[in-house]
Amino acid sequence: MPRTFRVLITGHQVDLLQKIAEALAPLRELKLDISLLPHHETDPLGKPGPLPDLLVHCLSAQAELELGALIVRPPAQRPAALLVVGLPGNSDLHHIRLAMQAGARDFITQPLAAEELRQDVHKIQGELASESGSGDHALTAFLSPKGGGGASTVAMGIAHMLVARYHVPSLLMDLDCQFGSQYLNLDLKPEKGLREALDAVDAIDEVALKAYVAAHPSGLHVMGALPSQILLPGDVTERQLYQLLEILIRNYGQIVVDLPCVIDSTFSLIIEKMRRIVLVVQQDFQNIRNGQKLVRILREDLQVTPDRVALVVNRFEANNPISLQDIENALQLRIVGIVPSDFRSVNDAANLGIPLLEHAPKSPVTQALLQLTGWMMGIKPAEETPPTFSAKLRAWLAGKG
Ligand SMILES: Nc1ncnc2c1ncn2[C@@H]1O[C@H](COP(=O)(O)OP(=O)(O)OP(=O)(O)O)[C@@H](O)[C@H]1O
Ligand SMILES: [Mg+2]
């Protein structure tokens, strides 16, 4: 299981602490604690208790003393990360400086924007994972156990949404080295791609990397075999690929890998590196039969634990005799996304070379992919988030009216 990320919210104003807790509640893999400090307490960690991974401290009128208490703490007695929420009004440069001395990763000004706060915390969570050596947190592969299941469509839609909606620097890596079409789907004309990057891997740094990716106007970067090339098995050595992935991990917040279902040594290496593997399946027997085979290979041959694998049902039809429950039971995996069939939107977007979010923002397929992107960002679907006090109050008032 992914390790729970422990967040402690401290400060002197109960309503502000609650507001932050409500903003962070939709994030998965998070354990939230609130510590309302007594009036006289100026040490944010003055109350006894285990150190959190992330301390979110809200400054009060005694901001200098609070930040000072954090600055003088020995490193071993500090939380892994600190996020400081400033006083209302203009952010005070003096406080920002002190916060930086205390090791703060960010300084948030009031009024709070819930989405911005969530993104910050998610980013810090990723940074800590990466610093602790589990930097593969950003890698997600999409593949279909049966050709044509929709892995490339889903991977591209999500990679674009990660950039366009969540502003996460992201790379779409097309590892279908023979028939990949992500450059075409995004109307990109790359000069150098995966082959060239692999050949130059020993010399590539952050700056040089830019020459090997194609940048979509949205900000999404794409890397794959050039449309004119076909890479054969053996053209991609494991060492080069491993090295390239390490460079990419250091440079992107999220890497979405479009992976063909060809079981070879490249496949094993990629699967081993991925934090998440998303199987895109359709509601038919061949998908399920191939899916079962693939799940067995992942578990038994590649030692992938089930918590790293999730299902997306593509081209979902409510009246199909194979239900979602049938699919979950057969593959013993959790469905995290349900994408309806929408030939017109998907086909037109691909033909025009425009991402779905731009071409058909309101279409059901785009909406479903947005939900799935939320899952990638660690946001729980609304129905899983416990109602907050204000939501309960609103519901109660609505019932009264
Ligand atoms: N939800 C959907 N609604 C309608 N058409 C879809 C949907 N998802 C995918 N398609 C279409 O199905 C076809 C196959 O999709 P895609 O290329 O994404 O699948 P794939 O699993 O990557 O296939 P391959 O095995 O060739 O790599 C494409 O023509 C695509 O436009
Ligand atoms: Mg594909």
User: Would you place residue 356 in the very low, low, confident or very high pLDDT band (cuts 50, 70, 90)?
Assistant: very high
Tokens for 238, please give them. 């494991």
Q: Residues spanned by CATH 3.40.50.300 within the chain?
A: 135-379
Of all atoms in ligand 1, which is nearest to the CA of residue 258?
22
User: Would you place residue 401 in the very low, low, confident or very high pLDDT band (cuts 50, 70, 90)?
Assistant: very low
Centroid of ligand 2 to alpha carbon of 182 (angstroms):
9
Tokens for 52, please give them. 């959190």
Backbone angles phi, psi at 49, to 5 degrees: 155, 165
């069939």: which residue's tokens?
Answer: 341
Residue 13 has pLDDT above 50, yes or no: yes
pLDDT of 36-66, one tens digit each? 999 999 999 988 878 899 999 999 999 999 9
Tally Cβ neighbours within 10 Å of residue 390: 11
Mean pLDDT of 102-113: 89
Question: What is the rounded distance in angstroms from the CA atom of residue 378 to the CA atom of residue 115?
Answer: 12
Tokens for 216, please give them. 């979509």
Residue 135 has pLDDT above 60, yes or no: no
Residue 395 has pLDDT above 60, yes or no: no
pLDDT of 367-389, one tens digit each? 999 999 988 887 766 555 555 54
Select the CATH number that applies to the domain covering 135-379 from these four: 3.40.1400.10, 1.20.1530.20, 3.40.50.300, 2.60.40.4070. Answer: 3.40.50.300
Centroid of ligand 2 to alpha carbon of 152 (angstroms):
4
User: Would you place residue 400 in the very low, low, confident or very high pLDDT band (cuts 50, 70, 90)?
Assistant: very low
Pairing type for strands 221-224 and 170-174 reads parallel
Sequence letter at residue 184: L
146 Cβ below 6 A of ligand 1: no
Residue 315 has pLDDT above 50, yes or no: yes
Q: Which of 142, 143, 152, 339 to mutate to test the pocket of ligand 1 (most atoms within 8 A of CB)?
A: 152
Question: What is the rounded distance in angstroms from the CA atom of residue 312 to the CA atom of residue 334?
Answer: 9
Pairing type for strands 221-224 and 214-215 reads antiparallel
Backbone angles phi, psi at 10, to 5 degrees: -125, 155
Q: Residues spanned by CATH 3.40.50.2300 within the chain?
A: 5-131
152 Cβ below 6 A of ligand 1: yes
For the domain made up of 5-131, the CATH class stated in words is alpha beta
Q: Whose CA is nearest to atom 11 of ligand 1?
A: 150
